[in-house]
């Protein structure tokens, strides 16, 4: 039986992970969980899965949870220190990192430094400090298993092959909820419209990232560090059906693709049980029913965020961390009605232009870039609101 810690148990990835645990109770045991402020849902999870320790980043929510769980033998911690403690629990064999945004960096790195293998669903830690995280993982003999459907697909396509034989990694993109719209129509898009993803059920932040194509910009950065492939060899292809999750082309021009219906439980379970596969009771892919699969190049004019991801990699250092932080602020402002959809890339662009990157040789350098970029982006949001 594999012992798990789930960072972000109340989000989309976290609840899907717990669904797999529920289906295979003989294979997994949850000993630790974390959440942000959803104390009601995590209380239900505590009573069902009986973890030894949990943490909420929100102190008030943690206090409410302690009051309601007085009859349950569980330790309840709070704040970033609490998240780090849960991520470092000695009994854990695998830490599923699913905290949304840059907040996942410190606890995920803590898990690696305490010798835990990590199933990484959160792009942002690898974007902010990918080289540092991989260096620490190699030093300690820790494996980072990708959970994102695209990176899991590449991971599977690389199995049994030599990295030096790789010619290209091709990340597929659904195009998000707004792909059919013109540049003029994007100007007046509402949050409700942008959240209507055609294929995937995800949290609001990642759904907006899908709509701007920033999701792919972040994934390009993540792929660079996950697979040690230079960014000129990483490409993006729009594939609206979300059936081919990504591809790898080798030097002999052969290509290997990973296909499946869009359901995150497949890549999550592969990372949890690697190298074995679990017999998930999910619908099978029927290509005859689907009939046709379509592909096209990204439109960088309508969706400039993808290029910002490539640019941050070319510049290097703390620039990806600054880009990521500005994106989080801009997306939050859009979701709350503070800016237009088309202002998201403008805020990221202006923040990157003002940033002076330094090397990410410590986690503190990444966190400082994150802090600075958030302040800069917030000031830009305020200027647009007046």
d(CA 147, CA 121): 5
d(CA 281, CA 300): 39
Single residue among 127, 146, 165 that ends a domain in this structure: 146
Q: Report the C-alpha dihedral over residues 315, 321, 326, 328, rounded to 10 degrees.
A: 140
In a 3-state reduction of DSSP, which class is residue 117? strand
347 pLDDT above the threshold of 90: yes
Single residue among 97, 117, 146 that ends a domain in this structure: 146
Q: Output the pLDDT for position 386.
A: 53
Q: Output the pLDDT for position 202.
A: 74
- Which of 233, 223, 213 has the alpha carbon at shortest distance from 130? 223
Q: Quick one: what percent of the chain has pLDDT higher than 90?
A: 94
Q: What is the pTM of this model?
A: 0.93
Q: Is residue 276 part of a domain?
A: no
Q: Are 116 and 140 in contact (CB under 8 A)?
A: no
Q: Output the pLDDT for position 385.
A: 72
Peptide bond into 95 cis (omega under 30): no
2 pLDDT above the threshold of 80: yes
Structural domain boundaries, residue 58: 2-146
Average pLDDT of 192-197?
91
Work out the pLDDT band at 384, boundaries 50, 70, 90: confident
CA quadruple 180, 184, 187, 188: dihedral sign: negative
Q: What is the DSSP string of 266-295?
A: HHHHHHHHTTS------PPP-HHHH-----
d(CA 6, CA 31): 9
Single residue among 88, 123, 146 that ends a domain in this structure: 146
Q: Tell me the average pLDDT of the chain.
A: 95
d(CA 214, CA 229): 20
Residues 40 and 139 in one domain: yes
H or E element in which residue 119 lies: strand 117-120
Residues 67 and 162 in one domain: no
Q: Output the pLDDT for position 330.
A: 97
254: tokens are 């052969």
234: tokens are 């990483």
H or E element in which residue 173 lies: strand 166-173
Residues 112 and 136 in one domain: yes
Q: Output the pLDDT for position 199.
A: 76
Residues 13 and 80 in one domain: yes
- Length of the chain as a residue count: 386
Residues 8 and 127 in one domain: yes
Strands 94-97 and 75-78: unpaired
d(CA 280, CA 273): 12
Residues 371 and 245 in one domain: yes
Q: Output the pLDDT for position 203.
A: 81
Q: Is residue 111 part of a domain?
A: yes
Per-residue pLDDT tens for 37-66?
999 999 999 999 999 999 999 999 999 999
111 pLDDT above the threshold of 80: yes
Q: Is residue 323 part of a domain?
A: yes
Q: Is residue 320 part of a domain?
A: yes
């Amino acid at each position: 039986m594999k012992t798990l810690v789930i960072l972000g148990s109340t989000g989309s990835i976290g609840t899907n992970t717990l669904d797999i645990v529920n289906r295979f109770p003989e294979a997994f045991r949850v000993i630790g969980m974390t959440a942000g402020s959803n104390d009601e849902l995590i209380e239900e999870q505590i009573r069902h899965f009986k973890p030894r320790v949990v943490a909420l980043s929100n102190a008030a929510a943690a206090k409410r949870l302690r009051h309601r769980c007085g009859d349950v033998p569980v330790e309840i911690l709070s704040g970033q220190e609490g998240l780090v403690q849960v991520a470092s629990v000695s009994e854990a064999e695998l830490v599923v990192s699913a905290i949304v945004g840059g907040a996942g960096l410190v606890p995920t790195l803590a898990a690696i430094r305490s010798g835990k293998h990590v199933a990484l669903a959160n792009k942002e830690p690898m974007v902010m400090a990918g080289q540092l995280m991989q260096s620490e993982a190699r030093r300690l003999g820790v494996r980072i298993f990708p959970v994102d459907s695209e990176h899991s697909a590449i991971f599977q396509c690389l199995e049994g092959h030599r990295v030096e034989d790789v010619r290209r990694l091709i990340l597929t993109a659904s195009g998000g909820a707004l792909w059919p719209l013109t540049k003029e129509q994007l100007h007046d898009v509402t949050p409700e419209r942008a959240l209507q993803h055609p294929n995937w059920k995800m949290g609001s932040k990642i759904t907006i990232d899908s709509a701007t194509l920033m999701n792919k910009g972040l994934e390009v950065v993540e792929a660079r560090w996950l697979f040690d492939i230079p960014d000129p060899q990483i490409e993006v292809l729009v594939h609206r059906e979300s059936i081919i999750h990504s591809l790898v082309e080798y030097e002999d021009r052969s290509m290997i693709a990973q296909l499946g219906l869009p359901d995150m439980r497949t890549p999550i379970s592969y990372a949890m049980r690697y190298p074995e596969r679990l017999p998930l009771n999910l619908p099978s892919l029927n290509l005859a029913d689907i009939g046709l699969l379509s592909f096209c190049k990204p439109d960088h004019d309508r969706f400039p965020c993808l290029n910002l991801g490539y640019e941050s990699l070319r510049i290097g250092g703390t620039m990806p961390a600054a880009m990521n932080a500005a994106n989080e602020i801009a997306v939050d402002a859009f979701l709350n009605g503070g800016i237009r959809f088309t202002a998201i890339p403008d805020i990221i662009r202006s923040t990157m232009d003002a940033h002076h990157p330094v090397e990410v040789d410590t986690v503190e350098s990444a966190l400082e870039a994150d802090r600075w970029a958030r302040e800069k982006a917030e000031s830009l949001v305020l200027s647009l609101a007046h």
